[in-house]
Amino acid sequence: MSAVDNTPGSGGKSTGNKPPLSKERQQQARRRVLRTILLTGGVMGAALSGYLPLAYGQKKRLRPPGALDEKDFLASCIKCGQCVQVCPVQAIKLADLVDGFGVGTPYIDAREQACDFSCDAVQCILACPTGSLTYHKPEFLPVRHGAALAAKPILLAKETDAEPTLNLKERIGVARLTRPESCLAIQGKGFKGQVQGPDFEGRMRYMSVDRWKPIKIADHPYDVAECDLCARECPIKGAISIETVFAPDGSQRKSPVVHEPCVGCGVCEMICPVEPTAIEIVPREVWRS
Amino acid sequence: MNDIMKRRFRDQILVMFGREPTKPAAISPKAQEIHLYKKGNRDFIAEKLHARAHANPSHKWRNRRWITLILANLLFVVSFYFDIQLLEGALTASRFVGFHLIDLNSALQVMLAHKHIINNLIIGTGTVLILWLLLGGRTFCSWICPYHLLAEWAEKLHVYLVKKKLVTDQTIDRRLRTISWLFFSLLAVATGYTVFEAISPTGILSRALIYGAGVALLWVLALLVFEVFFSRRAWCRYACPIGLTYGVVGILSPVRIKYTLSDCFHEGDCRKVCLVPHVLDTVIKGRAIDTEVPIGPDCTRCGLCVDTCPTGSLKFDIKGLSKLL
């Protein structure tokens, strides 16, 4: 043992009776403790500050189809972006630091690029490794009233297929005519030209063009006598229609009307030709009859 | 494994959790013999060879590691950019030609926060667990983690500034990492949010590389600035719970660095380049408990010490394989 005891080296804690520390050493030790507290506080503070955007956030994010309720979604999302990678129209984006705990989680900005289900099978759900996006919500998680769809939504694009439905049980939001005053249908106006202008990057699948290849909406100009784009391009059967309604003054006019099968995909919001859009998805909204 | 080795094995686990390494309580007779011999004798030929080796620093392992790290991260980027579906996702969770791979610490956070574990999550976590069990636990840190590479470059700057006497390395208590691991685990259970994932520089960098830069990179920058001007490799050394998770995996891993006592000159160059110098306490004169000592689980198997050692006293070793050969 003598060889060990004689060796030089920094003082270990192995000896029971430590020599008293010098003033300088004491000060160094104190500073070290302070630094440790500083770094601990810094790391934990930075991490916890991620809660602030959740508490004060005004804007709700529209999550991809099959998403669990927001709290469970944030708990289970591993922030890998595999849903982003499989989306054929790149509708899914990842949130940044301003989303706090939601940094790196997927969301859809429907006006810029909506989910038009051109993958047919809701690929993002298939890609999710943690069940944040899921076909089968676990039993113990409640379904909010009005979030459940009355029936599996029928995808118009595959209406003639053997299995025409999408495997979705809940909606991600509901379309709302938030600016009826600017709606062209209500004004009885038509629309001619490119939706959101020639530089618009948004893409969509047009069955009349190519079932498996979404094209730029800018490359598919419209010319309609009476605007019905939201109802015309809605990918879900029976989710929206142009109806004749009575205005408060008793006069008749046309208006888009959203129905129960609406899943909240956002195609109507993307395809609305007025700026800002007359119809919008209210994220995580439930159906109120 | 004899008693002396068993004790060291246990000690090294405690050292990983933050205890300061201590002088060994017992040393094998053979190692004792070498320690005593070194006290009274000088080997002039060996010293010459040693001096010559110092003149030719090697970067073999560093280069291999950097190439591996860059290629692994590039594979994610290329896979998405060209849509070749080779390695989809990010470092937190991915799919390699269809096989689920899920980062252990991210998986842990999600399991604790969500409290519901689906099959894909189990498969991906299990695969990665076996992978790093075989490859050496914290091997992940130095061979894959993109933050590690940036921090390594920041460290060079820090060491330069220290040499110029412009900054000093402010050390911090290593037990902080264990506390931070517990804190974030408990927080995930209690709040149901994967709080650590929001600030994990590994996840932030991986996503920034694949999906484009964002404001979150400012946090990574802040960490790097802290490391350059204040405390050397602070995040990896004192804070990152990912390192501890993989360190625990590395306890049983066959891949490690092995120290050979006989040729060592005890200069401590290896400890100067090491990210986790507490695992190299065994190279201090008189500390080695045996003629050959495996380095503990907190070692990231980065190989900088192997490159630096002029006598070849530190080498990569695969437990059992050398016996087999």
Query: With an 8 Å Cβ cutoff, are A76 and B234 in contact?
Result: no
Helix B241-250 and helix B104-114, axial crossing angle in degrees, nearest 10 = 110
- Search chain B and give the residue with CA nearest A105: B198
The total of other beta-carbon atoms located within 10 Å of residue A253's CB is 14
User: In which residue are the tokens 């804070």 written?
Assistant: B239
Q: Which helix (H) or strand (E) holds B255?
A: strand B255-260
Report d(CA A47, CA B59) in Å as an integer: 37
Half-sphere exposure of B214 (CA within 13 A, CB side): 23
Token pair of B167 as six digits: 């900054």
Q: What is the pLDDT of residue B53?
A: 72
Residue A71: per-residue pLDDT? 92
Is B121–A130 a contact, with Cβ atoms under 8 angstroms apart? yes
Residue B315: the pLDDT is 93
Q: Which residues of A touch B23 (CB under 8 A)?
A: 4, 7, 9, 12, 14
Q: Which residues of B touch A141 (CB under 8 A)?
A: 116
Q: Is A78's CB within 8 Å of B113's CB? A: no
Q: Measured over all CA atoms, what is the biggest interatomic distance in chain A, rounded to whole angstroms?
A: 106
- The residue of chain B nearest to residue A51, with distances taken between CA atoms, is B195
Give the Cα separation of A106 and A89 in Å (integer): 14
Q: Could you count the other beta carbons within 10 Å of the beta carbon of residue A193?
A: 12
Q: Chain A within 8 Å of B14 (Cβ-Cβ)?
A: no
- Any bridge partners for residue A282, and if so which? A174
Whether residues A3 and B192 touch (CB distance < 8 A) is answered with no
pLDDT of residue B60: 93
Instruction: State how far the Cα of A267 lies from the Cα of B230, in Å rounded to an integer.
Output: 51
pLDDT at B172: 92
User: Is B278 within 8 Å of A10 (Cβ atoms)?
Assistant: no
Contact A35 B176 (CB under 8 A): no
pLDDT tens-digit series, residues B218-233: 999 999 999 999 999 9
Distance CA A111, CA B2 (A): 68
Task: Identify the DSSP state of B14.
Answer: H
Count of CB atoms situated within 10 Å of the CB of A223: 8
From chain A, the residues in CB contact with B199 under 8 A are 43, 46-47, 50
- Name chain A contacts of B128, Cβ cutoff 8 Å: none
The token pair at A280 is: 């919008």
CB contact under 8 A, B192 and A43: no
Please tell me if residue B193 touches chain A, with a CB cutoff of 8 Å.
Answer: yes
Determine, for residues B195 and A50 on separate chains, whether the beta-carbon distance falls below 8 Å. yes
Interface of B with A in 204-233 (CB under 8 A): 204, 207, 210-211, 214-216, 218-219, 231
Measured between beta carbons, the chain B residues lying within 8 angstroms of A137 are none
- Per DSSP, the three-state class of B31 is helix
In the numeric block, which tokens belong to residue B270?
A: 């290896």
Residue B192 contacts A, CB cutoff 8 Å: yes
Q: Mutation test of the interface with chain A: which of B182, B194, B204, choosing the one with the most A Cβ atoms within 10 A? A: B194
Q: Provide, as residue numbers in chain B, all residues whose Cβ is less than 8 Å from the Cβ of A103.
A: 197-198, 204, 216
Interface A-B, measured as beta-carbon pairs within 8 A, has a size of 184
Chain A's closest residue to B179, CA to CA, is A40
Query: Any CB–CB contact under 8 A between B17 and chain A?
Result: no
Query: Phi, psi at residue A250, to the nearest 5°?
Result: 95, -10
- The structure's pTM equals 0.89
* Closest CB from B113, B187, B215 relative to A97: B215
The minimum CA-CA distance between B55 and chain A, rounded to whole Å, is 27
Q: Are residues A81 and B95, on separate chains, in Cβ contact within 8 Å?
A: no
d(CA A75, CA A61): 15
> For residue A26, how many other CB atoms are within 10 A of its CB?
11
> Each residue of B173-197: pLDDT tens digit?
999 999 999 999 999 999 999 999 9
- Which of B20, B80, B287 lies nearest to residue A85, judging by beta carbons? B80
Residues of chain B with pLDDT under 70: 1, 325
Each of the 289 residues of chain A gets a pLDDT tens digit; together they read 334 444 444 444 444 566 777 888 888 888 888 888 888 898 899 888 888 888 887 678 999 999 999 999 999 999 999 999 999 999 999 999 888 899 999 999 999 999 999 998 899 999 999 999 999 899 899 999 999 999 999 999 999 999 999 999 999 999 999 999 999 999 999 999 999 999 999 999 999 999 889 999 999 999 999 999 999 999 999 999 999 988 788 888 899 999 999 999 999 999 999 999 999 999 999 998 7
Alpha carbon distances (Å) from B124 to A76, A271, B95, B190: 15, 39, 8, 25
User: Distance between CA B309 and CA B307 in Å, rounded?
Assistant: 6
A-chain residue closest to B281, CA distance: A9
Q: Please give, one letter per residue, the 3-state secondary structure of chain A.
A: CHHHHHCCCCCCCCCCCCCCCCHHHHHHHHHHHHHHHHHHHHHHHHHHHHHHHHHHCCCCCECCCCECCHHHHHHHCCCCCHHHHHCCCCCEEECCHHHHHHCCCEEECCCCCCCCCCCCCCHHHHHCCCCCECCCCCCCCCCCCCCECCCCCEEHHHCCCCCCECCCCECCEEEEECCHHHCHHHHCCCEEECCCCCCCCCEECCCCCCCCCCEEHHHCCEEECCCCHHHHHCCECCCEEEEEEECCCCCEEEEEEECCCCCCCCHHHHHCCCCCCCEEEEECCCCCC
Q: Is residue B18 within 8 angstroms of chain A, CB to CB?
A: no
Q: Which neighbouring-strand residues pair with B257?
A: B316
